[in-house]
């Protein structure tokens, strides 16, 4: 039976306090990193573990760290805790229940890349998480885990918390950097990549919360331990957020690569009695939907990509057979249209027109040619935008049109919703 690692303190009383974290072995990995490893050794350890970024892209973490130029230039570490993807709440739980785990991971990462300053970019709605994180930072400073000459070493490190204003686009790393600098949050053209020219044009590493909390466990237990969990190409423990029409919604820690059907039916209890699973969105609403017959796919980066979807943020949203997929698609595209920063014409204009067409179809006022127009809009948006927001919207809509086209056609031909 799998024993939780990242969520081991989830139900421990006062787990957010430093004394509780230390009692469970907290900050021993930081001490080990500073006293037994050079920064280069930490980077190589994370490379060997094959930790892939848990924010959605799945880029190898150690490789990202190795891109940071050597030398005495000012460097920054940024933790992307914006977590704006609908259906995703894993980072919030960690920051609320176990914030010191994140601070320790950030300290080790900063030591590895040579950064002395870090920012946690946290979404404004996460009030409790923000308070707990700030309290944890203050405790860590007092105990010498943050500040100058940490644990008797030459390493200096401080963490600042920056509150966002609820813009989904700030989940994109370069838009987040612009927001941190006080600008309007819009994605930057790459290259240059943040590792070379990021925050204040300085070398910057950006990782999300779940990625960083894996780091202390890799240092403490070794790369071989990490690779022993899950598939070889995407190893390690993984946090899955399960919501929607399911009997036991919640946050589950399981090995990477668990079958989607097992996650939904066995761990989350399946859909309510008397209903059937219709489809599952595996990685937040930007991930293309998977119909019920395809649920035996493994929940890892490569397996989901092979079936035309993606792991994304692992925000698993379950849809049962009482739900209209036209309504689901409309709400998702409305969200992306609302959250588009407006920088790219295909995203700004394409999503605007897609929303108009979808609303018309949902209201029973669809017209001949609407399906073809939606297909054309998806084609015009995908691959033609600065960031992945437009791609996510187009991919999701395109999957809904492909798998549930009969429902869209029924709305147009019958001029009503068959589920009402």
3-class DSSP state of 204: strand
Q: Find, among 312, 219, 305, 295, the residue nearest to 259 by Cα.
A: 295
Name the band, by pLDDT with cuts 50, 70 and 90, for residue 384: very high
Q: What is the arithmetic mean of pLDDT over 282-293?
A: 96
Task: Tell me, rounded to whole angstroms, the distance of Cα 120 from its chain centroid.
Answer: 15
Give the CA count within 13 Å in the CB-facing half-sphere of 236: 31
Q: Where are the domains of the chain?
A: 18-227, 237-320, 325-414
Q: What is the CATH number of domain 18-227?
A: 3.40.50.11540
Burial grade of 259 (CB within 10 A; 0-12, 13-18, 19 or more): middle
Q: Give me the percent of the chain exceeding a pLDDT of 70.
A: 100
Torsion angles phi and psi, residue 81, rounded to 5:
-115, 30
Q: What is the arithmetic mean of pLDDT over 135-163?
A: 97
* pLDDT for the residue 41: 98
Residue 366 near residue 412 (C-beta atoms within 8 A): yes
* pLDDT for the residue 419: 82
Helix (H) or strand (E) holding 25: none
The pLDDT tens digits for 317-360 are 999 999 999 999 999 999 999 999 999 999 999 999 999 999 99
The pLDDT tens digits for 42-99 are 999 999 999 999 988 889 999 999 999 998 889 999 999 999 999 999 999 999 999 9
Taking the C-alpha atoms of residue 107 and residue 5, their distance in angstroms, rounded to an integer, is 19
The pLDDT tens digits for 260-272 are 999 999 999 999 9
pTM, rounded to two decimals: 0.95
Q: What is the CATH number of domain 237-320?
A: 3.10.20.600
Exposure pattern of 189-213 as b/e (b: 16+ CB <10 Å)?
A: eeeebbbebbbeebbbbbbbbbbbb
The greatest distance separating any two alpha carbons of the chain, rounded to the nearest whole angstrom, comes to 74
Q: Which two structure tokens, joined as six digits, stand for 151?
A: 């644990």
Torsion angles phi and psi, residue 244, rounded to 5:
95, -150
Q: What is the arithmetic mean of pLDDT over 386-399?
A: 93
Residue 420: pLDDT above 80? no
* pLDDT for the residue 57: 82
Architecture of the structural domain at 325-414 = Up-down Bundle (1.20)
- Indicate if 325-414 has the same CATH topology as 237-320: no
* pLDDT for the residue 234: 94
Taking the C-alpha atoms of residue 374 and residue 353, their distance in angstroms, rounded to an integer, is 9
């Amino acid at each position: 039976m799998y024993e939780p690692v990242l969520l081991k303190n989830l139900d421990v009383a006062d787990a957010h306090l430093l004394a509780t974290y230390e009692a469970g072995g907290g900050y021993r990995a930081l001490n080990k990193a500073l006293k037994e490893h050079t920064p280069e050794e930490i980077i190589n350890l994370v490379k060997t573990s094959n930790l892939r970024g848990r924010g959605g892209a799945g880029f190898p973490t150690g490789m990202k760290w190795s891109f940071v130029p050597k030398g005495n230039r000012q460097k920054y570490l940024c933790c992307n805790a914006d977590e704006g993807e609908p259906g995703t709440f894993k980072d919030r739980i960690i920051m609320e229940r176990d914030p010191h785990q994140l601070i320790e991971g950030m300290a080790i990462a900063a030591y590895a890349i040579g950064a002395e300053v870090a920012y946690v970019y946290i979404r404004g709605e996460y009030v409790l998480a923000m308070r707990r994180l700030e309290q944890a930072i203050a405790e860590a400073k007092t105990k010498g885990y943050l500040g100058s000459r940490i644990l008797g070493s030459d390493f200096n490190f401080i963490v600042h918390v920056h509150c966002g204003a609820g813009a989904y686009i700030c989940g994109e790393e370069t838009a987040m950097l612009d927001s941190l600098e006080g600008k309007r949050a819009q994605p930057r053209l790459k290259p240059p990549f943040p590792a070379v020219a990021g925050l204040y044009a300085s070398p910057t590493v950006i990782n999300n919360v779940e990625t960083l909390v894996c780091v202390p466990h890799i240092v403490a237990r070794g790369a071989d331990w990490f690779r022993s969990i899950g598939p070889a190409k995407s190893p390690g423990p993984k946090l899955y957020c399960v919501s929607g029409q399911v009997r036991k919604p919640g946050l589950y820690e399981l090995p990477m690569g668990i079958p989607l059907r097992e996650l939904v039916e066995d761990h989350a209890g399946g859909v309510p009695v008397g209903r059937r699973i219709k489809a599952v969105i595996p990685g937040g609403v930007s991930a293309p939907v998977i119909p019920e017959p395809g649920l035996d796919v493994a929940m890892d980066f490569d397996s989901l990509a092979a079936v035309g979807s993606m792991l994304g943020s692992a925000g698993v949203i379950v849809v049962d057979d009482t739900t209209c997929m036209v309504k689901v698609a409309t709400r998702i595209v409305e969200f992306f249209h609302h959250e588009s920063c407006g920088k790219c014409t295909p995203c700004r204009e394409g999503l605007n027109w897609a929303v108009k067409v979808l609303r018309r179809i949902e209201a029973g006022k669809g017209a001949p040619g609407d399906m073809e127009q939606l297909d054309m809009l998806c084609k015009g948006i995908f691959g033609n935008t600065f960031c992945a927001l437009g791609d996510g919207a187009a991919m999701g809509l395109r999957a809904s049109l492909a798998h549930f086209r009969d429902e869209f056609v029924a709305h147009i031909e019958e001029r009503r919703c068959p589920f009402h």
